[in-house]
A and B are shown apart, each in its own frame.
Chain A
């Protein structure tokens, strides 16, 4: 079946639907209308930019350009992770989260793109960019939950953490309960999505493939693969992000550097 292209007028018409949520949010004085406007504008500008950029990327399909684009995405995700985690953009966090994300992405890309799909061309843009983008987007979400949960609970429950240290725990032993909780919290949303996928929702990638004319079976096979990539990538990047940042944020006597926090939350 041929793909029905949306013309610009049709796309503009689709914005009219925002009137309904906009009215509800305004009626209940949520103060979110301004945010809705900014978010919509940002979405349009960012996606238009990416759309044009991807056209260029696909046309040249050069591994070096693709890698550079992936690096840009990782750097943006790095800053966004800290901003959304209510943590300051300190070197002690930016570098570890960058390293963790890049390691996770490289491993996942090499495994799925080169080993499983076995792309005829190294890091072919048509596959590498969307798959990396999807894994990275989910890594960002999980890192925000994981890193925030870990460091804020270490701060709020510092007496418990110090109690373990004072009983002779090594750094890894003392952070274990906080690490466990952060991993659980960050992995749970993806696990819930995996458990309900297909029943409650049809995922975006699969829908996109079906809309663009692929057979549903091909779309499902890709979707299963991408879910495995997302889950593995997110757990790995959260694990490495916490693990590596521990070396910089905890000092040589394992005390927490509290200058990383934006908020003054106390238990």
Chain B
């Protein structure tokens, strides 16, 4: 990795971090209204459920019905993790053990395929097409391209320039596009657990 690419990627990372920071500041600057419902369960256990059992594909009717779509999402996000791991490890790529290299190639490649499949689904399926915004299509395409180039670059270093460009673009896009849902996921699941845990809907609470 040349110094120029290092500067480009670090600068993109700084932009991403600043953007995420600004979004978090705005979110946490909003009021946090107190819950007024009668306590019928445990908010703590609800939060625990929200991040553990409640995430399992068999825990919800929706994911049982759409198991393939759910798994496609899981594989896609595992690919994203591999893509960013690959980006972080790029300076040391030549000295990496073959097992690490092939693992990144495999996970990023499968993630990319899942991403492109998701993009096709958004165009083909009527309901998905209705709810999708141009940002959704752009973001999924960008991240899928990032994963494709990640797999290609860790397979053959001649693809590195494309990988770094896609990586920089993805980093900058995080706070600006739909990719930012990764920031809000933790908050959303936390609030879900608090809300339903308090009401005793989730969290394994016995009722009157």
**Is B a genuine binding partner of A?**
no
On A, residues with C-beta under 8 Å from B are: none
On B, residues with C-beta under 8 Å from A are: none
